């Protein structure tokens, strides 16, 4: 029985040599690599790495978009007992320094010129890197840096090495064991330096297989791999489960063609964070606003029926004959074409995770027949902790503990997890490892929540972020910033939100508008604007956002525990929060503490009763240049509602 990823690959190559393993779209045409060809490529790459001197247990950095030859490279590194370390391809070069130094990296395999430039830029800080191989040669013809070579040359060297050392790569693969380290993922960390999360072949394969059994995945699935390979979620769905099940992984031509490629592939198994589902729906709603009166009327009537009966049909609940007929008509003329437009017409299972998803958004997808569900997990748990069964998908929970998982709550409400998928350690960080792993095998998730009566897990917030209001009418009340931020982001006009309130008398918030949604809203009302900063400060936009905030406040008032978290004042930021400016992690999580320090003048203005505040901010542009942006931001007061006491 295969116990490592390269062994799994060889199993598929032996049992289904001509079956498709990977596809990539190049110059508008899908190119297919079958399992037999993949095995041959992996062995050649492994031979090249062996010739270069890769040692068992050594780390190799892999950076780029989802590309077949990068997937093959990770398998080749693992074939020799090495450890691939995928890094975020959109990270600045300075973000590579710590992982490379921490893991003592000598070899790097990258996608293209952009990644080569980043590594050459930091060679002074990372002199240990002696070899860099690149997949895409465009723009690199005149580069003559020592140790820089193409992946083609690595394959050629590997082919020659294998001829001279027959059977040695196969022997190395056979030598692999389940408890060998398979990969290391650096957390994008909202505070402090990133930590290297060490996973074995067993932890990753066990959770991949458990998830596959839960959703009855087979080799017939089609997957579109478009999220960063450095993110453990992408790695589990499109690498670990790919090798566990043997399905087909499709790589888009570029990030710009993902929506087109999604429609062409028609995946059966799909994963996306809520922001992607929000973006897809926003594009649909914008197109509907531009449609004729008859189409808008038909869409509205059909969606009324879908929201009323669609989720019940998805969950197998009884629905009246007339409603079934209405839904069938809606499916023919609206839901079916809409799923096709979204590229989700063949989806059998779709998951979202990473952030809370709005109930309206969640209901929308399920109402049109897309089996969208939520899951709960993290880098340290190899993702799969809780999953939602097909007929028990709800917006306010993240599912039930799956096979092999135990959950208990600490005295402070923190969720503790015991699972076969837990990390081995944080690399070279025993103190941090001891903080999250108890001697008897429980992992501290850092999340606060509880199991409901049906056994579903409900997440409230990060345990360390749950604070208390001090002074004012809600003195001592719970303050859950992420809960508030997620509720604000449920509105299509709000892209990001940052809530403040811990140890203060009231809650206040920074808002980022969604440029596409608000821009379209403004154009419909003939409201001229000259870019993001100008649009963000329009009085009409403030009124729009204020209405959203007040709706959130009204909702929070229904919960006597969280009524104090209502937002009293807000401002719309003059720039979008950006990972390049350190305001978001690479997985787009808000770095609240850093933002509070960076914009201290704005926080002070919110709590100081000011109606506007001038601010200057240093930013990094896409071409690497630095600059300053400045603006005078308006500050708005918001209506708050009295807490609604629940009936006993």
Show Cβ contacts of residue 357 under 8 Å, excluding neighbours closer than 6 positions. Answer: 274, 277, 374, 395
Sign of CA dihedral 52, 56, 57, 62: positive
| 42-51 pLDDT, tens digit each | 999 999 999 9
Alpha-carbon torsion (381, 386, 389, 394), positive or negative? negative
When pLDDT is averaged across residues 172-199 and rounded to a whole number, the result is 90
Among 169-173, 360-364, 643-647, whose mean pLDDT is lowest? 643-647
pLDDT over 90 (residue 480): no
Give the confidence band of 647 by pLDDT, cuts at 50, 70, 90. very low
Q: What are the tens digits of pLDDT across the range 110-136?
A: 999 999 999 999 999 999 999 999 999
Q: Kindly state the helix (H) or strand (E) to which residue 258 belongs, with its residue range.
A: helix 258-265
Report how far Cα 501 is from the mean position of its chain's Cα atoms: 27
Residue among 449, 379, 450, 456 at smallest CA distance from 421: 379
Strand order in the sheet with 181-186: 181-186, 196-200, 425-426
What whole-number distance in Å separates Cα of residue 47 and Cα of residue 163?
9
Q: Residue 25 in 3-state DSSP? A: strand
Query: Rounded to an integer, what distance in angstroms lies between the CA atom of residue 486 and that of residue 108?
Result: 38
In tens, the pLDDT along 147-167 reads 999 999 999 999 999 999 999
On whether the CB atoms of residues 457 and 415 are closer than 8 A, the answer is: yes
Would you say 54 and 80 are in contact if contact means Cβ atoms under 8 Å apart?
Answer: yes
With H, G, I as helix, E, B as strand and everything else as coil, classify residue 418.
strand
Please name which of 424, 383, 375, 405 lies closest in space to residue 231, comparing C-alpha atoms. Answer: 383
pLDDT digits (tens, 9 = 90+) for 350-375: 999 877 787 888 999 999 999 999 99
Strands 467-468 and 386-387: unpaired
Q: CA 135: distance to chain centroid?
A: 25
Are 491 and 483 in contact, with CB atoms under 8 Å apart? no
The whole-angstrom separation of Cα 159 and Cα 243 is: 24
**pLDDT value at residue 623:** 65
Q: Name the residue among 249, 305, 294, 315 with its Cα closest to residue 70.
A: 249
Write out the two tokens for 110: 């990258």
Judged against a pLDDT cut of 80, whether residue 529 lies above it is answered with yes
Whether the per-residue pLDDT at 53 is higher than 50: the answer is: yes
Q: Which tens digit of pLDDT belongs to each residue from 237-254?
A: 999 999 999 999 999 999
* Distance in Å from the first CA to the final CA of the chain: 57
Q: In what order do the strands lie in the sheet with 400-401?
A: 269-271, 349-352, 372-376, 386-387, 400-401
- The sign one gets for the Cα dihedral 405, 10, 71, 259 is negative
Bridge partners of residue 508, in order along the sequence: 500, 569
Q: Is the pLDDT reported for residue 534 higher than 50?
A: yes
| Per-residue pLDDT tens digits for 577-608 | 998 898 988 878 889 999 999 999 999 999 99
- Output the pLDDT for position 645: 61
φ/ψ of residue 520, rounded to 5: -65, -40
The H or E element spanning position 46 is: helix 35-52
Residue 307 sits at the vertex; the CA angle it makes with 301 and 308, to the nearest 5 degrees, is 90
DSSP secondary structure letter of residue 564: G
Give me the DSSP letters along 184-217.
EEE---SSSS--EEEEEHHHHHHHHHHHHHHTT-
Angle, CA 245 vertex, CA 37 and CA 443 arms, to 5°: 125
Write down the pTM of the prediction.
0.85
User: Of 172, 44, 63, nearest to 107 (Cα)?
Assistant: 63
What is residue 190's predicted lDDT score, i.e. its pLDDT? 53
Band the pLDDT of 192: cuts 50, 70, 90.
low
Of residues 629 and 77, which shows the higher confidence score? Answer: 77
364 HSE (CA, 13 A, CB side): 20
Determine the Cα–Cα distance for residues 583 and 190; give it in Å rounded to an integer.
9
Question: Per-residue pLDDT for 391 more than 80?
Answer: yes
The arithmetic mean of pLDDT across residues 178-203, rounded, is 89
Q: According to the model, what pLDDT value does residue 2 have?
A: 92
Residues 115 and 495: their CA atoms lie apart, in Å, by 29
pLDDT band at 648 (very low <50, low <70, confident <90, very high): very low
- The least confident of 158-172, 204-218, 460-474 is 460-474
Which residue from 7, 13, 131, 15 is spatially nearest to 79, judged by alpha carbons? 7
Here the tokens at position 143 are 């580069």
For residue 189, what pLDDT band results from cuts at 50, 70 and 90? Answer: low
CA distances, 435 to each of 194, 431, 432, 468 (Å): 15, 6, 5, 24
Structure tokens at 36: 């037999």
What average pLDDT is seen over the chain?
A: 93
Neighbours of 18 (CB within 10 A): 9
pLDDT (average), residues 165-194: 90
Closest C-alpha among 70, 37, 7, 108 to residue 225: 70
Q: Are 529 and 519 in contact (CB under 8 A)?
A: yes
User: How many separate helices (H) and strands (E) can be counted in the chain?
Assistant: 23, 29
List domains and CATH numbers for the chain: 5-187+224-254 (3.40.50.12780), 274-462 (3.40.50.12780), 467-637 (3.30.300.30)
């Amino acid at each position: 029985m295969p116990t490592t990823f390269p062994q799994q690959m060889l199993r598929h190559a032996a049992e289904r040599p001509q079956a498709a393993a990977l596809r990539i779209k190049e110059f508008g045409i899908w190119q297919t690599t079958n399992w037999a060809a993949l095995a041959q490529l992996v062995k050649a790459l492994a031979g090249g790495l062996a010739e270069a001197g890769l040692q068992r247990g050594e780390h190799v950095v892999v950076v780029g978009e989802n590309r077949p030859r990068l997937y093959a490279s990770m398998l080749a590194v693992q074939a020799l007992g090495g450890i691939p370390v995928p890094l975020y391809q959109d990270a600045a070069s300075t973000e590579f320094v710590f992982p490379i130094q921490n893991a003592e990296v000598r070899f790097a395999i990258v996608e293209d010129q952009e990644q080569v430039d980043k590594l050459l830029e930091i060679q002074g800080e990372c002199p240990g890197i002696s070899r860099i191989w690149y997949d895409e040669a465009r723009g690199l013809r005149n580069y003559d840096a020592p140790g820089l070579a193409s992946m083609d040359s690595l394959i050629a060297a590997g082919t020659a090495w294998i001829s001279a050392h027959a059977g040695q790569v196969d022997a190395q693969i056979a030598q692999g064991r389940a408890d060998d380290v398979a990969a290391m993922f650096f957390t994008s960390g909202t505070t402090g330096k990133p930590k290297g999360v060490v996973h074995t072949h067993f932890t990753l394969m066990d959770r991949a297989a458990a998830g596959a059994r839960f959703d009855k995945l087979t080799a017939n699935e089609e997957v579109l791999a478009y999220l960063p390979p450095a993110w453990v979620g992408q790695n589990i769905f499109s690498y670990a489960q790919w090798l566990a099940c043997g399905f087909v992984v499709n790589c888009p031509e570029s990030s710009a063609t993902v929506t087109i490629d999604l429609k062409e592939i028609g995946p059966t198994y799909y994963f996306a964070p809520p922001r992607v589902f929000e973006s897809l729906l926003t594009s649909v709603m914008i197109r509907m606003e531009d449609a004729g009166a008859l189409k808008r009327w038909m869409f509205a009537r059909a969606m009324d029926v879908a929201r009323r009966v669609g989720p019940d049909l998805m969950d197998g609940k009884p629905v009246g004959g007339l409603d079934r007929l209405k839904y069938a008509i809606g499916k023919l003329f609206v839901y079916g074409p809409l799923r096709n437009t979204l590229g989700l017409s063949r989806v059998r299972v779709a998951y979202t995770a990473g952030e809370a998803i709005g109930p309206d958004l969640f209901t929308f997808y399920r109402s049109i027949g897309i089996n969208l569900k939520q899951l709960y997990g993290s880098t340290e748990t190899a993702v799969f902790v809780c999953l939602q069964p097909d007929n028990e998908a709800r917006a306010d929970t993240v599912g039930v503990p799956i096979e092999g998982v135990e959950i208990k709550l600490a005295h402070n409400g923190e969720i503790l997890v015991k699972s076969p998928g837990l990390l081995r350690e944080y690399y070279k960080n025993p103190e941090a490892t001891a903080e999250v792993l108890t001697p008897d095998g429980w992992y501290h998730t850092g999340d606060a929540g509880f199991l409901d009566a049906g056994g579903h897990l409900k997440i409230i917030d990060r345990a360390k972020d749950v604070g208390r209001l001090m002074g004012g009418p809600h003195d001592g009340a719970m303050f859950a910033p992420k809960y508030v931020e997620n509720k604000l982001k449920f509105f299509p006009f709000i892209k990001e939100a940052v809530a403040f309130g811990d140890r203060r008398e009231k809650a206040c918030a920074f808002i980022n508008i969604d440029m596409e949604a608000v821009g379209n809203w403004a154009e419909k009302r003939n409201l001229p604007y000259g870019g993001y900063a100008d649009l963000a400060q329009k009085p009409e936009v403030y009124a729009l956002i204020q209405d959203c905030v007040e709706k959130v406040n009204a909702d929070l008032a229904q919960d006597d525990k969280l009524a104090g978290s209502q937002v009293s004042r807000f401002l719309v930021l003059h720039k979008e929060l950006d990972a390049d400016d350190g305001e978001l992690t690479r997985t787009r999580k808000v770095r609240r503490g850093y933002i509070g320090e960076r914009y201290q003048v704005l926080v002070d203005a919110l709590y100081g009763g000011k109606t506007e505040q001038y601010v200057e901010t240093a930013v990094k542009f896409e071409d690497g240049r630095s600059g300053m942006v400045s603006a005078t931001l308006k500050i708005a007061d918001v209506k708050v509602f009295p807490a609604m006491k629940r009936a006993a």
